[in-house]
Chains A and B, each alone.
Chain A
Amino acid sequence: MLKINSIEKTFNPGTINEKKALDGVSLHLKPGDFVTIIGGNGAGKSTLMNAITGVWPVDNGSITLDGINVTGLPEYKRAKYIGRVFQDPMMGTAPDMQIIENLALAYRRGKTRTLKWGITKREKVLFHEQLKILGLGLEDRMTSKVGLLSGGQRQALTLLMASLQKPKLLLLDEHTAALDPTTAAKVLEISEEIIDKDNLTAMMITHNMHDAIAHGNRLIMMNNGQIIYDVEGEEKKKLTKEDLMKKFAEIAGSEAESDKMLLS
């Protein structure tokens, strides 16, 4: 489904702030794979997602999605194939627009925006049903401005928007990190449901070791812009938090010590 071939990205090349954020990352995902990604700060996790969504072009390497080479496509064109939920709940929705308008925009992801009316009657019914599934009562306030919603509600809505048009790839970038524990659990549960229901191919960055182990069929660990550990299937199921900590220290060496705290 997703084929990443040794991509590289260096920020601020030739300056004192030069940072090799992605250093030859290769990754192949099969359809239906659900990968969790862990790693310390600055390991390149979010950079990898930005490379996949096309926030900027990569320096080297290629990215192919379901047979389509997207390496040369800008973000708004790749959006046709990719659903994304950001870490910041404010980033995924338009605050000045109604819940239903946000959904209608997402429903047209990847399609030409014509001069036809922005929301049809049929869609209103569909959105009502979909919102009901979230179980947050949003279906009763479809014309409320999204800016009035809480962070958790906005993340749940963003999730729904990302999956409304079945994406070839769903990217979750620490999407529960800014939420309180209860809401985070709820949003994670909704994510799992959505991924299961449509059998989506998904990637999820998390700082929570427990979540990384509990969710998905595959786990990768990143450090210094490289994938340093990749485990799937039965082997992943048997993983424990301690295993991961040990693995991390072993592969990444002493520089990982400072990151241990962040991961625990």
Chain B
Amino acid sequence: MISYFESLHIGNLIDSLPGAVAQGIIWGIMALGVYITFRLLDVADLSVDGTFTTGGAVTVMMRLAHYPIWACLIVAVLAGLIAGTVTGVLHTKLGIPAILAGILTQLALYSINLKIMDMSANQSFAFNEDGLWISLGNVPMAILVSAIFALAIIVLLYWYFGTEQGSALRATGSNHSMSSAQGININTMKIIGLAISNGIVALSGGLMTQYQGFADINMGRGAIVTGLAAVIIGEVIGMAILGKRMNFWGKLFFIVIGGILYYVVVAVVLWLKLDSNYLKLFTAVIVALFLAVPYLKKKSKSSFKRAKKKGAKLDAENK
């Protein structure tokens, strides 16, 4: 036991934090994509597990073919947009439940991602090569560049969801019958939302591949849960700090903060020398807890148990 604590050096943790922040921002961008479907459209879209990898696969292969990094990222986003559109069409035009539509796309993408990566489970380039915007080799730079990306996406999303079309998309997520009655084509809106969401997720996958210098066929596994973790942590922290002043800017900003916090916690867990194979279990438990707490809180305020207790007390007093 003592030797365990002696083996933990706070310096190691501090050294690992900048990397955690960089990864956190990249996952925060991914979470912005998840937020669009999960919160604004009210659809749980599982295709993101596949599109995150697609973004990475496209980036690594184009990089190996010596394309400039901006071209890699643009194609990654396009691939994500297409994948999201496929999920949207499966859901709206073919009547497949949203969750299943996402799973189908995700499954199909596994094969497609392998094909993109030349039928190899992973592909890499030197992470310190020239022309990269983000890289493990220069973590402060990586933090700066990914923060600029995050900020740009927040500004774009804020603008888009304030436009006529973006408002119609939010209305679709809020109330289907009202949207149809106001002349909004809810199927089109869902497809657009899923496409944008997956485009952002693929961008994030591309950035992550650049950062770590490789793409792996499993890099997107559980991405939806990590994204949800960032969204939920961000919402809780944001509400705690801003309270009623929380507006749309705040929501988007704190989602990225949520991504960073998630990776800081991961860094601490790893520093404690917990087996990293348990990370997914850890994430699932955290997300389940955060999703359950608001529900349980509400329930505890009005439960049959409580009603029974109160009733019994009143009866006793009246005797």
Residues of A within 8 A of B (CB): 53, 75-77, 79-80, 84, 86, 90-97, 101-102, 104-106, 108-111, 113-118, 161-162
Q: How far is the CA of A147 from the CA of B184 in the complex (A)?
A: 20
Interface string of B151-181 (1 = CB under 8 A from A): 0000000001011111110110111011111
A90 to B181 alpha-carbon distance, docked (Å): 13
**Cα–Cα, bound, A162→B173 (Å):** 20
**A145 to chain B: closest residue by CB:** B174
Q: Which 6 A-B pairs have the closest CB atoms?
A: A79-B183, A94-B174, A118-B167, A113-B164, A96-B174, A113-B165
CB pair A76–B180 under 8 Å, yes or no, is yes
Using CB atoms, name the residue of chain A closest to B177: A91
Assess whether B83 is interfacial by the CB under 8 Å rule. no
In the bound complex, residues from chain B placing their C-beta under 8 Å from that of A118 are 162-164, 166-167
Besides A94-B170, A118-B164, 12 other A-B contacts (C-beta < 8 A): A92-B178, A94-B171, A94-B178, A97-B167, A102-B171, A102-B178, A105-B171, A108-B182, A111-B183, A114-B165, A115-B160, A162-B181
In the bound assembly, the distance between CA atoms of A113 and B163 in angstroms comes to 8
Residues B174 and A105 in contact, CB atoms below 8 Å apart: no
The answer to whether B171 touches A116, judged by C-beta atoms less than 8 angstroms apart, is: no
Is B186's CB under 8 angstroms from A76's CB?
yes
* CB-defined contacts of B174 to chain A, threshold 8 Å: 94-97
Q: At the interface, yes or no: B185 with Cβ under 8 Å from chain A? A: yes
Residues in B with CB closer than 8 Å to A53 are 181
Cβ of B175 and Cβ of A115 under 8 Å apart?
no
Residues in A neighbouring B186, C-beta threshold 8 A: 76
Minimal beta-carbon separation of B178 from chain A (angstroms): 5
User: Which residues from chain B sit less than 8 Å from chain A, CB to CB?
Assistant: 160, 162-168, 170-171, 173-175, 177-186
Name the B residues within 8 Å of A110 (CB-CB).
183
- Give complex CA distance A110, B184 in Å: 8
Residues of chain B contacted by A111 (CB below 8 angstroms):
183
The secondary-structure label for the interface of chain B is helix
Q: How far is the CA of A116 from the CA of B163 in the complex (A)?
A: 5
Cα–Cα distance between A90 and B178 once the two chains are bound (Å): 9
The secondary-structure label for the interface of chain A is: loop
Complex-state Cα separation, A84 to B182, whole angstroms = 9
Shortest CB–CB separation between residue A47 and chain B, in angstroms? Answer: 16
Q: Which residue from B162, B168, B180, B181 sits with its C-beta under 8 Å from A117?
A: B162
A46 CA / B168 CA spacing, docked (Å):
26
Q: Are A97 and B163 in contact, CB atoms less than 8 angstroms apart?
A: no
Considering the chains assembled together, what is the distance between the CA atoms of A94 and B172 in angstroms? 8
A108 touches B181 (CB 8 A): no
Count A/B pairs, Cβ under 8 Å. 86
Q: List 14 A-B contacts (CB under 8 A).
A: A76-B180, A79-B182, A90-B175, A94-B175, A96-B174, A97-B167, A106-B182, A108-B182, A113-B164, A113-B168, A114-B164, A116-B164, A117-B164, A161-B182
Q: Which residue of A has the minimal Cβ distance to B168? A: A113
C-alpha spacing A97/B166, complex, angstroms: 12
**CB-based contact A92/B181 at 8 Å:** yes
Contact yes or no, A97 B170, CB < 8 A: yes
User: A109 vs B179: C-alpha distance in the bound complex, in angstroms?
Assistant: 10
Q: Do the beta carbons of B175 and A91 come within 8 Å of each other?
A: yes
Q: Are A94 and B183 in contact (CB under 8 A)?
A: no
The answer to whether B164 and A95 have CB atoms under 8 Å apart is: no
Residues of A within 8 A of B165 (CB): 113-115
Give CA–CA (A96, B40) in the complex, Å: 9
Q: Tell me which residues across on chain A come within 8 A of B173, comparing CB atoms.
A: 96
Report yes or no: B170 in contact with A96, Cβ–Cβ below 8 A. Answer: yes
B162 contacts A113, C-beta separation under 8 Å: no
Q: Roughly how many angstroms separate A75 CA and B162 CA in the complex, as a whole number?
A: 25
The CA of A75 and the CA of B186, in the complex, are separated in Å by 11
Instruction: Give the docked Cα–Cα distance between A109 and B180 (Å).
Output: 10
Alpha-carbon distance between A53 and B183 when the two chains are bound, in angstroms = 11
Q: Is there contact, CB below 8 Å, between B183 and A76?
A: yes
Is the beta-carbon distance between B164 and A108 smaller than 8 angstroms?
A: yes
- Within 8 Å by CB of A77, from B167, B182, B183, lies B183
- Inter-subunit contact B183/A109 (CB<8 Å): yes
What is the minimal beta-carbon distance from B40 to any residue of chain A, in angstroms? 9
Residue pair B184, A113 in contact (C-beta under 8 Å): yes
Residue numbers in B under 8 Å from A115 (CB-CB): 160, 163-165
Chain B residue numbers with a CB within 8 Å of A104 are 167
- For residue B167, which residues in chain A have a CB less than 8 angstroms away from its CB? 97, 101, 104-105, 113, 118
B170: which A residues are within 8 A, CB to CB?
94, 96-97, 101
Q: What's the least CB distance linking A55 to chain B, in Å?
A: 8
In the bound complex, how far is the Cα of B167 from the Cα of A95, in angstroms?
A: 13
B177 to chain A: which residues have CB within 8 Å?
Answer: 86, 91-92
